[in-house]
Chain A
Amino acid sequence: MGDERKIRILVAKPGLDGHDRGAKVIASAFRDAGFEVVYTGLHQTPEMIVSAAIQEDVDVVAMSVLSGAHMTLFPRVKALLDELGADHILLTGGGIIPEDDVAELELEGIGRLFGPGTSTSDAIAYVKEWFSTTDEA
């Protein structure tokens, strides 16, 4: 079935930050683009996010972080995914994340992180591209 399968994505809001405009816009845009989208709601711990990702059997976790806590939250979610044998899941996201931090997080195995002013179509294209290269394997 390959190309026919819908990509499943979990849009997640970790931490205490309540700014969900971006997360909701991204969730709607992915749904409109034919993805199966699950949205966690606000104030999630890394544990809650990883458990939802595994339970929902998603391909991708997209986290929105505007609180400045990205250097804590992304590595923590990544470590938990790896620990629970879910390292096939792509961890990506966006928010207010300085370029130096983006580079550092990429080195730790986190996918692309999108900043303010991003077009949703860029994020969608990125995930589709990632999926088409990994799905062949």
Chain B
Amino acid sequence: MSTIERDLLKRTDLEKALRRSEIEVADLKTRLAEWEERYDALPKRDASFSTVSGREVKPLYTELDHSRAHKPIGYPGMYPYTRGPYATMYRTRLWTMRQFAGFATAEETNQRYKYLLEHGQTGLSVAFDFPTLMGYDSDHERSLGEVGVCGVAVSSLADMERLFEDIPLDRVSVSMTINGPAIILFCFYVAAAEKQGVDVSELRGTVQNDILKEYQAQHAWIYPPEPALRLIVDMFEWCSDNTPKYNPISISGYHIREAGATAAEELAFTLRNGFEYVERGIARGLDVDSFAPRLSFFFDVHNDFFEEIAKLRAARRIWARGMKEKYGAKNPDSWRLRTHCQTAGVTLTAQQPENNIVRVAYQAMAAALGGTQSLHTNSMDETLALPTEKAVRIALRTQQILAHESGVALTIDPLAGSHYVEALTDELEDEAMGLFEEIDEMGGVVLGIEQGWFQQEIAKSAMRQQREFESGERITVGVNSFTEGSSDVEIEMLRIDPEVEKRQVASMSDMRAGRDDEAVRVTLAALTEGCRSKENLVPLILDCVRGYCTLFEIRAAMEEVFGSYKEPVFF
């Protein structure tokens, strides 16, 4: 057979297939019309048929709603990773059960970590107190009343050493939620590992280090965007050379969503932030494949079960496409989006808090069906105060029941091919692409932040949800409906003793008394100088840290050159 003959044959085959599918589609449409007629004739419940993000949902989805040829779902572990970042997913290893914890002093949190590890938790996640998150020492005047309250206070290497006492840092992966001063806390961590005698190239874990979403939603910033972005690229560069198994960033949608964004906004803003970091790395002259494989993500898992699953699937596909096609990454590890998830704190209710166990359980199930790599499940009492040990145990048990009893971990991406889930995945991807265009037209992420665009979009969505809740259009069980029994809350509460602040302040002054003041002065001055140059700042900060310079001292040494961020105020 000649080439021409072969081509002709191929063409006839294609035409036949096309005709066949045209007939099938016509047939489908006829049957769908028949069903629609019946559906229209019958009464409907008086309710809003939209997701919590305000997305109108059709009463029925069929193959006509998706199966677009340009959005193949493919196979797990293969481009574009819609079905999961790894070929074997939970058959090789279940997701990491990683509960976020931290309170009071390093000693007390160290005890909680040991408790969690003994109960089968497989990774640690550090919650810092507000002073630490903002780069203030425990004995700074702005820290008054907040030391150790919402997380653990870590003001120097000494605190970090106590935090991980008897926890070998080469064997446990540790995630740290810190952003404005992330580079400083990361250096505390590296130096604490050195003190344990651990080879730092063996360190596994993640530092959140996502400053863009701080300006947009979470608001724990220090420096203006440009120097803050430089610090992040310094981390990319240093980590790819020195701590190759460590994730120097966790690009986070969680806080964007919790602040009020819709699922599509969370998806779009997070991924666009991610691409911004990639562009900044490339602009530094880094090979995209040298740092992109270590970029990790963090999404919220909110109430709408299917929309959340679709969001995670869409996120993987958008990231893979962008990294391969737009940024020219060649290493498949650069295309693969790996994510941590947390159930949505904002959905928990102070009324009938036991109901939160149920909310958390199905949000956790959505995270597993969406193919998450690690998961934090919230404790039922978190709208009231810090979680008690009992509440934390129930939250962890929820994940264990999900993993070992429910069957969701048996097969990979079990909802693939569901007309609804595939249609939602396509829709969310399209919406995100639309939002990318809007951001680009506005002049990019940093300009959008400076003009307050992201902040206003998020606030608008929050206001819409509040209105729906107050009008009763959106039901929150136990709060605006089914409220009988809501007033008798009998929950034990964990309280932070005000003595904690005093103890922490005292231990700071002991630490200051025992260090070499000259070394402190010299290393801090070198850091300030470094900020004026283009030098990578990680080694300079490590020098400060090893001599027990404090968090605020290091923050201030850089602030001298970088200045501080002023938010655009509006509501």
A16 CB → nearest B CB, Å:
4
Within 8 A of B (CB), among A1-49: 11, 15-21, 23-25, 27-29, 31, 37, 39-43, 45
In the complex, A29 Cα to B466 Cα: how many Å?
A: 10
Question: What per-residue 1/0 map shows which CB atoms of B253-283 lie under 8 Å from chain A?
Answer: 0000011100000000000000000000000
A26 CB → nearest B CB, Å:
9
For A71, list chain B residues within 8 Å (CB). 145
A14 CB → nearest B CB, Å:
10
A121 at the interface (CB under 8 A from B): yes
Q: Which residue of B lies closest to A121 (CB)?
A: B470
Main secondary structure of the interface of B (DSSP, over half): loop
A10 CB → nearest B CB, Å:
12
Within 8 A of A (CB), among B385-399: 385-386
Known A-B contacts A16-B142, A39-B569, A72-B145; the reply to A98 vs B385 at CB < 8 A is: yes
Mark the stretch among B131-139, B335-343, B504-512 that contacts chain A: B131-139
In the complex, A72 Cα to B459 Cα: how many Å?
A: 28
Contact yes or no, A37 B385, CB < 8 A? no
Contact yes or no, A73 B258, CB < 8 A? no
B479 at the interface (CB under 8 A from A): yes
For B482, list chain A residues within 8 Å (CB). none
Within 8 A of A (CB), among B468-519: 469-470, 476, 479-480, 493, 495-496
Within 8 A of A (CB), among B175-232: 214, 218-220
- Point out the residue from A27, A28, A116 that lies within 8 Å of B350, measured CB to CB: A116
Contact yes or no, B463 A25, CB < 8 A? yes
A85 at the interface (CB under 8 A from B): no
A52 CB → nearest B CB, Å:
11
For B214, list chain A residues within 8 Å (CB). 18
Interface residues on A, range: 35 or more
For A28, list chain B residues within 8 Å (CB). 459, 463, 571
A132 at the interface (CB under 8 A from B): no
Known A-B contacts A16-B134, A42-B219; the reply to A25 vs B462 at CB < 8 A is: yes
B130 at the interface (CB under 8 A from A): yes
Residues of B within 8 A of A (CB-CB), count: 44
A119 at the interface (CB under 8 A from B): yes
Known A-B contacts A72-B144, A117-B350; the reply to A41 vs B567 at CB < 8 A is: yes
A69 at the interface (CB under 8 A from B): yes
B146 at the interface (CB under 8 A from A): yes
Known A-B contacts A24-B571, A42-B219; the reply to A17 vs B142 at CB < 8 A is: no
Question: What per-residue 1/0 map shows which CB atoms of A57-99 lie under 8 Å from chain B?
Answer: 0000000000111011100000000000000000000001010
Besides the known contacts A24-B459, A116-B349, 18 further A-B residue pairs in the complex with CB atoms under 8 A apart: A16-B146, A17-B150, A18-B214, A18-B218, A19-B259, A20-B219, A21-B258, A31-B571, A40-B569, A43-B219, A68-B149, A68-B150, A72-B144, A96-B383, A96-B384, A115-B350, A117-B350, A121-B470
- B-contacting residues of A (Cβ < 8 Å)? 11, 15-21, 23-25, 27-29, 31, 37, 39-43, 45, 67-69, 71-73, 96, 98, 115-117, 119-121
- A-contacting residues of B (Cβ < 8 Å)? 130-131, 133-134, 136, 142-146, 149-150, 214, 218-220, 258-260, 346, 348-351, 383-386, 459, 462-463, 466, 469-470, 476, 479-480, 493, 495-496, 567, 569-571
For this complex, 17 residue pairs linking A to B, each with C-beta atoms less than 8 Å apart, are A16-B130, A16-B131, A18-B214, A18-B218, A21-B462, A24-B459, A28-B463, A28-B571, A37-B571, A39-B571, A42-B219, A67-B130, A68-B496, A72-B146, A96-B383, A117-B480, A119-B470
